[in-house]
Amino acid sequence: MAQLYYRYGAMNSGKSIEVMKVAHNYEEQNKAVRIFTSVVDDRDGVGFISSRTGMRREATPITETTDMFELLKAEDEKIWCVLIDEAQFLSKEHVLQLTRIADELDIPVMAFGLKNDFMNRLFEGSKYLLLYAEKIEEIKTICWYCGKKAIMNLRVNNGKPVYEGEQIQIGGNESYYPVCRYHYFHPDIKEGRDE
C-alpha cells in the first residue's frame, strides 16, 4: 500500500534538490513520476522547481483549483511516484487529494516543504501534512550564525530581523536565513553574513 510522506526542513535545507534527486532515481529506471509545485513560488517562473545550486526542472503548477487526484486518475501511463515541492503552500483540500492518491490510486506521494513560517506558525499545507502523512521526516540544515541545527526561518529586510507581516513573501537568501532557536530570538546579523 502506498503512503504519504512529508519531508520538511528550514529554508536552504535542500528540499528542492531532494525532489529532483528522487525523480532522477525513478526515471533512471524508466519509472514515470509526476512533479507538482505551488504556483505561489514564482521565483524561477511558474511551473518550475529550482535549487540554489542552479538545478532547475519543470513541474505542474498547483493553483487553488488544481485537483491532483483527478489529474493522476486520468493518466494513461503508470505513475510510480508523485513529488510535491513547496508543499507548505498547499490547502487542506490539496493535502486530502494527496491522501486519496496514495490510498485509492496506490501511488506513493512525497511532499517537501517548510514546516513553519517566519513567525513560527504552521503553514496550512504543513499543518495538514503533519496530521495526515504516515511518514514524517526532517531534512536538516545548520543555523546561518552558529552551526547548530536550524529549526526556524528568520525573515530579514535591509539587514534587520522581521517578526510580523504577511505570512507569504517569496524570497531566498536575501530574505530568509535558516536559524536555531537562540538566533531566531537573538540574531546578530553581522555574525553570519557579509552584507
User: What are the grid coordinates assigned to 25, written together?
Assistant: 532515481
Q: Which of 77, 86, 137, 166 is catalytic?
A: 86
pTM for this prediction = 0.89
Q: Among this protein's residues, is 195 annotated catalytic?
A: no
Tell me what the pLDDT averaged over the chain comes to.
89
Query: Residue ranges of the alpha helices (H) in 83-176?
Result: 92-104, 124-132
> Tens of pLDDT along 109-137?
999 999 999 999 999 999 999 999 999 99
Helix (H) or strand (E) segment spanning residue 16: helix 15-27
Total count of residues recorded for the chain: 195
> Tens of pLDDT along 59-92?
999 999 999 999 999 999 999 999 999 999 999 9
